[in-house]
Structure 1
């Protein structure tokens, strides 16, 4: 996967003026667009689309400051059909308009070309198992919330706090299949995994496809397939977020599995009274690479 990401980065450089066909590039590397986008954003700290935009604007800034080419010619050269669209993209990256950059020579914010490397230390084994599950359903209380990579997500906290105390016990009693107990579910996540993008968060449980569905609960249907299950213990939510990051940096590059579309699930197996520490399982939908 690391080699595939580096070849995709090289393709970005070759096609800064064209629309990047990520699906075709992923298929040429024997993987999927979904997996490429998720792995890229996890390892690079930004979506692939944002990296492409930053690289385009980095190279375009050189043309803008170093040549007398017309602004429209530069815009078209880097895939923009109008100076207005180019101006917006340029300002988002550099913080100034092209006119100001050309007049003053800056300020400019350069995005270096990325190079992915795998560092293998071998001193932090991951407690992982692969599970093959039939189709099932997730039922509970759902809300659309922004994605926050680090720390506690206050929007999720507020959603959980809005659920009556007695409802948690009711949900837990409805749990009818693995993974058991109350679950933290993230679904409809943008493949770029961009901080601030919206996702569906569901606080609920897993049930079989033939379980009668209470009419007052939200439902997420989950297709049959394999799951990579990562067990982790420690300070919550830090240890869970660290494990999530380690799946991209350590586990996926070293194992013959890739992500497939579907929700990610967190099962809280045990926790301290103040929830400062917890033992959790992170369930991620996967398929053979």
Structure 2
């Protein structure tokens, strides 16, 4: 399967550069998707964030090097740690012992073998979806910059939602809504070549009122979207749906990620019984007709 071959090419690149710099952009290019989508796809399929997987693999190799007689400082520098202290902290977080202990005979260490992607599509439950072709549209809302390693944003995004809720902004945003998709939007604007940002927003072409000067606007590019409805308790239900989309629907759909924002559409705000849609930007593989 070409899709899996691309992912494994990216894994091979990372494996070959454990003792050097691993460029997320390069890995994503090999996987034929954006850096943002590569990181999300990796974490859903592998069950671990990309940065954590790389750290575990590096510390696995570091343990082998130490047991073969290499000096702690040399191993630390080999895997990108400029000080023994930071290397010691990373090593202990994986192995539970200091690097110096790993050099001793009978030391108990952990090994995290490299992974390879071989997906078995379960298809245990049906998935409703529709394909939507949409011209570019404007969203307005509260925004926050995002880091290039997506797990670093796991605190920033919930804090932005908290700020929007506590400030009473959501009803004001809904008053501006006049375009599809209709709902409160969570827009991950992480396209290649852009500064990454997350927006709590609505689709609107209305002028921004003066009293909402803190809002930002963003133009979502024209794209084809695979739209998946869902409901349940937040945030678990939407996370489970997104994982199923990537691991079950995407590999056999004939589509791949397009370089456009991911959009979550919240139709019912009750977190205990939410209704939502996931808008996945897609394109036909190999330039096929839509």
TM-score higher than 0.5? yes
Match of 1:194 in 2: none
Q: Secondary structure at the match of 2:103?
A: helix
Match of 2:154 in 1: 147
Instruction: Report the TM-score when normalising by structure 2.
Output: 0.75
Q: 1:30 to 1:233 in 2, by over 3 A?
A: closer
Q: Secondary structure at the match of 1:108?
A: coil
- Work out which of the residue numbers 213, 225, 249 in structure 1 matches 2:208: 213
Verify the 8 A CA contact 1:233 1:239 in the aligned structure 2. yes
TM-superposed deviation, 1:282: 1.5
* Matching of residue 177 in structure 1 with residue 184 in structure 2: no
TM-superposed deviation, 1:173: 2.7
Match of 2:51 in 1: 49
Q: Secondary structure at the match of 1:187?
A: strand
Q: 1:16 to 1:283 in 2, by over 3 A?
A: same
Output the CA distance in 2 between the equivalents of 1:34 and 1:75: 28
Output the CA distance in 2 between the equivalents of 1:35 and 1:102: 39
* Matching of residue 114 in structure 1 with residue 109 in structure 2: no
| Range that drifts further, 29-38 or 53-62 | 29-38
TM-superposed deviation, 1:44: 1.7
Output the CA distance in 1 between the equivalents of 2:79 and 2:64: 12
TM-superposed deviation, 1:88: 4.1
Output the CA distance in 2 between the equivalents of 1:200 and 1:31: 19
Output the CA distance in 1 between the equivalents of 2:54 and 2:111: 12
Verify the 8 A CA contact 1:179 1:267 in the aligned structure 2. no
Deviation by residue 1:155-193 (Cα, 9 ceiling, x = unmatched): 4664354133xx544432321110113x141436799xx
Q: 1:275 to 1:8 in 2, by over 3 A?
A: closer
Structure 2: unaligned runs, 5 residues or longer? 147-152, 286-290
| Range that drifts further, 137-146 or 120-129 | 137-146
Higher relative contact order (CA 8 A, sep 6+): 1
TM-superposed deviation, 1:79: 4.5
Output the CA distance in 1 between the equivalents of 2:190 and 2:33: 19
| Range that drifts further, 241-250 or 119-128 | 119-128
Verify the 8 A CA contact 1:176 1:207 in the aligned structure 2. yes
Deviation by residue 1:250-278 (Cα, 9 ceiling, x = unmatched): 1222231215242522231x57xx65323
Q: 1:77 to 1:3 in 2, by over 3 A?
A: same
Q: 1:63 to 1:190 in 2, by over 3 A?
A: farther
Q: 1:57 to 1:233 in 2, by over 3 A?
A: same
Instruction: Report the TM-score when normalising by structure 1.
Output: 0.76
Output the CA distance in 2 between the equivalents of 1:143 and 1:20: 26
TM-superposed deviation, 1:32: 4.0
Q: Secondary structure at the match of 2:178?
A: coil
Match of 1:225 in 2: 222
Match of 2:288 in 1: none
Match of 2:5 in 1: 3
Match of 1:12 in 2: 14
Structure 1: unaligned runs, 5 residues or longer? 192-197
TM-superposed deviation, 1:212: 0.8
| Range that drifts further, 14-23 or 37-46 | 14-23
TM-superposed deviation, 1:143: 6.1
Q: 1:105 to 1:160 in 2, by over 3 A?
A: farther
Output the CA distance in 1 between the equivalents of 2:41 and 2:264: 18
Output the CA distance in 1 between the equivalents of 2:93 and 2:266: 39
